Amino acid sequence: MVKNVLGIVGRPKNRESILNMKKPILVVGGYGVVGLQIAQVTRKQNVGIPIIIAGRSINKASEAAAKIKNASGIALDVSDIDPLANVNTEVGAVICAVNDPDDALMRAAITRGIPYIDITRWTVRLHSASLLASVLDITAPVVLSSSWMAGVCAIVAKKATTELGVVEEIDTAILYRLADKAGPNSVEYADRLGIPFRVLKNGRWKTVKPMSEPLQTTFPGGYSGKAYRFDEPSQETLALYTGAETVSSRIAYDSVSTTRVMALLVKSGIWGLISGPSFTKFRHSMLHNPGAGASHEVVILVKGKGATGKEETIRATILDPEGQTHLTAVGAYIQLSETLGLDGQAPRAAGVYLPENTNDPQSVIKTLEQNGVKVNFEVSPL
């Protein structure tokens, strides 16, 4: 039997079947901005794994598959009652790179005993997926890697905590560059900017408002600006895994005017007034105007006591010159690799996993660096 921090138990699956890499990887949403890069990163890291690109349009799926060696395209709609009903090939894993609003794809994968990796959920949706998984018979890994950039930030934060004997505080600040390439799902967090959420502060759960409590942050590329609170899953999961008494996530935009306008709209309550479906296109248009590309940058500050008992701060930085969609794709591949044991590690047994469940953060750092992502750690006494 297998149990992890979520308390969800499942029966171990035959590991030999997981290791059978003749089975293709099914990337749902595979012709989207992120999905296609997931397929490309997977192909770069593992030449021989077959890949199936899936989406509602068979033509778009086939066109995307033609860009990748040993790949094919199929039509698949996550809104169907059983999205995998017409998948006639036995697949080795399903990666969900689109929203699965009714959990239909997740349920279909679990009931078939197929390893499932989801990178699309915000905190409330992560909770619902965990509840669903708790009542289903889990016979394969179910990976809910929906914290920022498919869990990359959470894993780097976990790596930083290994330098400390006691973890007291974890603060993550993200720089969202408006000229970056981005898929439409990248700004869906904006739909929750009018909704308060909970964070752990000084050992107690409290409700905070989005775009509040700004923190001046200097990012690895040199940009300095105010980062504001926003709802992001690792604020809860990192608290559970590390025992930190304070965990926060903040976001900054590389446009001072955009940052000020967003903070004003949220603080004034106007953002809440335009939170309905009728204004979705307008809300997303404020942040989703993707350009030719820009770097994606993150700063993680971890505070606590070192081995000698002295207070220390670990400053971890992440910089991906290819932007947020590329970093997300690499993060999804990392979860695929750990789930199936692609890069020499043992495959995961059945159970529910979060990004923090990684057994080898240093191996994750290596994979990030192999894909051009710059990760740096600095230790300084308080």
- Does the pTM surpass 0.85? The reply is yes
Residues 91-97, mean pLDDT to the nearest whole number: 97
- Dist CA 324 CA 151 (whole Å): 12
Tell me, yes or no, whether 170 lies in a domain.
Answer: yes
pLDDT tens for 336-357 read 999 999 988 899 999 999 999 9
User: Hey, which residues does 169 pair with through a beta bridge?
Assistant: 246, 303
Residue in 263, 349, 366 with CA at minimum distance from that of residue 8 = 349
- Dist CA 138 CA 135 (whole Å): 9
pLDDT at 8 over 60: no
pLDDT of residue 220: 95
- Dist CA 66 CA 75 (whole Å): 15
Tell me, yes or no, whether 176 lies in a domain.
Answer: yes
159 in the same domain as 82: no
Residues 302-316, mean pLDDT to the nearest whole number: 93
Residue in 102, 47, 101 with CA at minimum distance from that of residue 71 = 47
- Dist CA 354 CA 335 (whole Å): 9
Residue in 146, 356, 139 with CA at minimum distance from that of residue 242 = 356
198 in the same domain as 93: no
pLDDT at 17 over 50: no
pLDDT of residue 71: 96
Beta strands in the chain (DSSP E): 2-3, 9-10, 25-28, 51-55, 71-75, 93-96, 116-118, 141-144, 166-176, 197-201, 204-208, 215-218, 224-229, 246-253, 296-305, 311-320, 351-353, 374-381
pLDDT at 153 over 90: yes
Residues 139-160, mean pLDDT to the nearest whole number: 96
User: Hey, which residues does 25 pair with through a beta bridge?
Assistant: 51, 93
Q: Which residue is it, tokens 């894909």?
A: 371
203 backbone φψ class: left, alpha, beta (φ>0; ψ -120 to 50):
left
pLDDT at 163 over 90: no
The CATH number given to whatever domain includes residue 50 is 3.40.50.720
284 in the same domain as 213: yes
pLDDT of residue 264: 84
pLDDT at 47 over 90: no
186 in the same domain as 144: no
pLDDT at 251 over 80: yes
Tell me, yes or no, whether 270 lies in a domain.
Answer: yes
List the structure tokens of 46: 């593992």
Tell me, yes or no, whether 366 lies in a domain.
Answer: no
pLDDT at 271 over 50: yes
Tell me, yes or no, whether 137 lies in a domain.
Answer: yes
List the structure tokens of 238: 């990192």
- Dist CA 59 CA 64 (whole Å): 9
337 in the same domain as 311: no
C-alpha angle 189/195/198, rounded to 5°?
95
Tell me, yes or no, whether 84 lies in a domain.
Answer: yes
The CATH number given to whatever domain includes residue 194 is 3.30.360.10
Tell me, yes or no, whether 365 lies in a domain.
Answer: no
List the structure tokens of 347: 């495959």
164 in the same domain as 55: no
- Dist CA 285 CA 119 (whole Å): 22
Domain count, the chain: 2
Residues 175-197, mean pLDDT to the nearest whole number: 72
303 in the same domain as 355: no
pLDDT of residue 344: 83
What 8-state DSSP symbol labels residue 243?
-
pLDDT of residue 16: 42
Residues 152, 174: contact at Cβ < 8 Å? no
156 in the same domain as 144: no
Residues 96-106, mean pLDDT to the nearest whole number: 94
32 in the same domain as 109: yes
- Dist CA 127 CA 203 (whole Å): 21
192 in the same domain as 58: no
pLDDT of residue 372: 97
Domain containing 8: what range? 2-149+325-360
pLDDT > 90 in the chain, percent:
71
341 in the same domain as 234: no
Tell me, yes or no, whether 237 lies in a domain.
Answer: yes
- Dist CA 107 CA 138 (whole Å): 10
356 in the same domain as 226: no
Mean pLDDT of the chain: 88
